A and B are shown apart, each in its own frame.
Chain A
């Protein structure tokens, strides 16, 4: 198992993470002890069959879910000891999310969707608008600011979601099957976009996918099987 050097503090370090659902006889262990280090600037694809625990691991990495046991250090700070609010603040300041189902606010314009994280950060209106426009421009949605999600294609909606994730300048972008609801062409474009963010802005990307075609964009592929890390290797980026 190649988990890189343990000498310096990595951006993310998971040690012995488990996650169980249910109790007693009905207990089901989705994660059976995960150890994983991720350094800054990495682009990690998390792969594995359905039920292998890759999404559960992603949710724990994104502080959306809490591990049953084990430790999760983010920049050396123990996340599992944080309160709900501290984890929310960690998400607010360091993490960006892209979901399979886009998860945009309905009946809300692209611009307002992208502005949302900035509002919670307390940005003043002028800089908020400017940053949101810039983020939309970066994902190639110049001129679509005033459209609501149901006026946008799937690919465009995912671009809005990416713009919302990066508008705060996060350290880590967590993407859970970002191309799962998209056709091949749009999938390629979204992956190019994400890879570009990693390459040009140095954003660490953690992406769950079950499509090998998408995993080729990553520099490192971690494979989950049955709630454990099965393999972990670095690869040359083809693109």
Chain B
């Protein structure tokens, strides 16, 4: 019985090509839209999370003032003594790196490039998750003496040296000459969209003396030895800095400690909201597709009521007719769903390539949108048929 019914269902689909096509189209558009939107949103969220992870793991960033992001307000900067205090008094910190930034123009032969110069220590590389692809980091002697040595990012290398190996070359930064001792491995864009590779790293003293001309430290980077230690270190840091900065009990902090996890939560939270918005828009198209399926199914009922009458008259059982219509509806909806999923995969891969975000297959949304459209197809294909099949054959035959 099942095989015969399957045959009948297939014949009916072939017979009603236009209706079948429109039904499938409704499912395809609905499914493809929702899956593509959600997949892209998920990819974006993942990309942001990856970029934050590229900043270094278990990292705490301490900035003066309460503002988040680059720049600073009026709060006092940190000094070298703060760094020493942290190194000596905070337990569980794997690396403590002071950071002093200054923008400068770097020149090599006839080429020049304007970039951000970071003054720090050797710990900076491990704390911020930088790897060297060529050359070496700073020696203690270079850090202490404030030697004119630098490690450059790949963007700076590309602009000054092209494909040439920069290690050992002498570049000019502002007014002084500086030896390139290392090249950083590329990290790509930051979560904020800036180019992390557009950087030159020098010993802290070198930057303070020769570029910024002050003893200020803009930021402290503290990396925890393990993820579990992050919260404890954060608490210690806040306590220590409040003491050192002489903040009274009832006063607010005039510095801020951010950890990468917190940063990741903030930023991925934003993209998640965007994903939900996109998904909601796409869900509307799924709904519209569903209404399309519904219309087509309901409109074909008149013709099909007579068809059901004919089938019943020549001896079909009610359940055979129903099974046929159920199979038809399931086949059409599933076919539409599968095409929709394939289309969505193709569109997501293509778009995520163009938009430069990762492609992330999400089985849940694939399944959900598939089931939703399939359910609409089945319900509206099956229930009108059921009503017709329960009529007396002669009533179904007389149906206008």
Contact = CB atoms under 8 A, between A and B. Distances in A.
Interface of A: 59, 62, 64-66, 84-85, 88-89, 91-93, 95, 97, 99, 103-108, 112, 116-117, 119-122, 164, 168
B1 A116 contact: no
A92 B314 contact: yes
Interface stretch (B84-92, B153-161, B257-265, B391-399): B391-399
B6 to A, nearest CB: 11
Interface string B314-356: 1111111000000000000000000000000000000000000
Contact of B313 (A103, A107, A121, A168): A103
Interface of B: 1, 4, 7-8, 11, 15-16, 303, 306-307, 309-320, 392-394, 397
28 contacts: A59-B394, A64-B313, A64-B394, A65-B394, A85-B317, A88-B312, A88-B315, A91-B313, A91-B315, A92-B314, A95-B315, A97-B314, A99-B397, A103-B309, A103-B313, A105-B15, A105-B307, A106-B15, A107-B15, A112-B11, A117-B315, A119-B4, A120-B4, A120-B315, A120-B316, A120-B320, A122-B1, A168-B315
B318 A117 contact: no
Given A107-B15, A119-B4, A120-B4, A64 B397 contact: yes
A88 B391 CA distance: 13
B310 A103 contact: yes
Given A64-B392, A106-B303, A108-B15, A89 B314 contact: no
Contacts of A119: 4, 7-8
A15 B307 CA distance: 32
Contacts of A104: 310
User: What's the dominant secondary structure at chain B's contact region?
Assistant: helix
A91 B314 contact: yes
A120 B314 contact: yes
A117 B314 contact: yes
Contact of A89 (B303, B313, B317, B392): B317
B389 to A, nearest CB: 10
A120 B324 CA distance: 11
Contact of A103 (B1, B315, B392, B397): B397
A230 to B, nearest CB: 24
B314 A164 contact: yes
A103 B306 contact: yes
A108 B304 CA distance: 13
Contacts of B4: 119-120, 122
Contacts of A112: 11
In the A-B complex, the 10 residue pairs with the smallest Cβ-Cβ separation, listed nearest first, are A92-B315, A64-B394, A91-B315, A64-B393, A117-B314, A107-B15, A65-B394, A59-B394, A88-B317, A120-B316
Given A95-B315, A105-B15, 12 more contacts: A59-B394, A64-B394, A88-B317, A89-B315, A91-B313, A92-B314, A97-B313, A106-B15, A108-B15, A117-B315, A120-B4, A120-B314
Contacts of B303: 106
Given A105-B307, A122-B1, A88 B316 contact: yes
